[in-house]
Amino acid sequence: MDGGSVVIELEKPWRDPEGYRRGRLLEAKYEAELALKFLEEGLYRNAAGRAFQAWKALLAALAVEHRDKLAERFKGVRTTRDGRRVHLADFVVAFMPTGYMLAVAKDLEEATGLSLYDLTNLALSLHEFQYNGLDKSGVYSRYPFIDLVVEDIKRVANAVFEILRERNARYISK
């Protein structure tokens, strides 16, 4: 450890679902806090990336709670980096691949009653902005103006905090 930093190693969800869930919830909280801090500093692309990561972590935490629902959609087997073969639903929960996030959000929205699909679209737009920045032509990014980015970063971060407050109050201090 350097300078008091803490390293949290996430357990795989098929080994310790509750430990994985707790770790992802903490990750969501910290990433959302960082997004707002970077936003205050005018670091828009970094803030967008942190908001995206916060949302991705939150989806993963919710996904572990509804793994059986996801298994209905995500069938098949994947091989992990360590060579272990796992059900595709477990792979999606563990890694939350960007390309699966909308499908996961749709299923989780149905399972939880939370508004996840539209916010997942916002998070994905912020992820795109993180790499491409503003684009007045609308070709490389969906954001032609910074005020739209700022609004979406706040919307995603605040949605993370609200969901954490509603469902997992013991994991947050905001």
Looking at per-residue confidence, does 170 or 82 come out higher?
82
101: left (phi over 0), alpha (psi -120 to 50) or beta: alpha
Q: How many CA atoms lie within 13 A of 73 on its CB side?
A: 19
Round the average pLDDT of the chain to a whole number and report it. 90
Helices (H), 66-145: 67-73, 88-95, 101-112, 117-132
The pLDDT value recorded for residue 6 is 52
> Using one digit for the tens of pLDDT, what is the confidence trace for 68-111?
999 999 999 988 888 888 899 999 999 999 999 999 999 999 99
Report whether pLDDT(35) > 50: yes
The pLDDT value recorded for residue 170 is 52
Mean pLDDT of the 22-30 span? 94
Mean pLDDT of the 128-157 span? 92
The pLDDT value recorded for residue 82 is 84
Q: Which of 7-21, 59-73, 160-174 has the lowest mean pLDDT?
A: 160-174
Q: What is the pTM of this model?
A: 0.89
Tell me the pLDDT band of 7, cut-offs 50, 70 and 90. Answer: low
Structural contact between residues 98 and 130, judged by C-beta atoms closer than 8 angstroms = no
- What span, in angstroms and rounded, lies between the C-alpha atoms of 143 and 60? 26
Q: Which long-range contacts (CB under 8 A, 24 or more apart) does 112-115 make?
A: 112/62, 112/66, 114/62, 114/163, 115/159
Report whether pLDDT(169) > 80: no
